[in-house]
Amino acid sequence: RPDLTHSKLLETAKAEGWWDGAVEFDWKVVMLGGGRGGLVADDLEPEGREAAGKEWLEKMCKEEEGLRVDVPSMAKCLRDVRSGICMQGGFESVGSQISVLQQGGGGKSGGAVHWFTASPDPTTSGYKPFSFKDGKEEGVDNDAARKLWLLHKELPSSARKQIGRALKAKEEELLSSVGAGGASPELFDRCMQEEVEIIKKFTS
């Protein structure tokens, strides 16, 4: 989106000879050398998972089919198994992340909230919020994260749908209660512990 680009992006591209300013600016073409002896635009058209991601993003930007540029819509995109965005089978997704970055955040957290599954498959996982505390690089409980990840890897197929529904419901609660900058490493740890208990409820 033009409003999210750096104010000097077009000026720099012209000054460096990457873009002549006569045609519409296309980041992908310009950065990969299109029209300057590099790849031509047709060679850069997305395929497979990339094409599906492009379609999702276009729908979000146009607010089609009830989608918006927000965490719930992006979570739907990252859970799209049919397109291959969410990989299952021979190659599998090993984790999933959505970051909400606040404009003018500077070097600190700036109200940014990062939503992680901390587990392999987002279709059976819940996104959990994390924010750096006052810009400090505080970590999460690695033992809890490893335990959660392994639990997800061993989910019985008979319980996957139920667990997925329960964790998505928990995710919706968090989305409605966590405002900008309202997350923390402590909340993320607590969410992981709660997710472990939810999984145990359906697998014990």
Note the pLDDT tens digit of each residue in 117-137.
999 899 999 999 998 766 555
With beta carbons less than 8 A apart as the criterion, state whether 49 and 57 touch.
no
User: Is residue 72 scored above 60 in pLDDT?
Assistant: yes
Interior angle at CA 129, CA 124 and CA 134, nearest 5? 160
Quick one: which of 130, 116, 124, 127 has its CA closest to 172?
127
Beta bridge partners of 97: 116
At 69, list the tokens.
Answer: 């540029």
Cβ atoms of 58 and 52 closer than 8 Å:
no
* Full-model pTM: 0.73
Helix (H) or strand (E) holding 144: helix 142-153
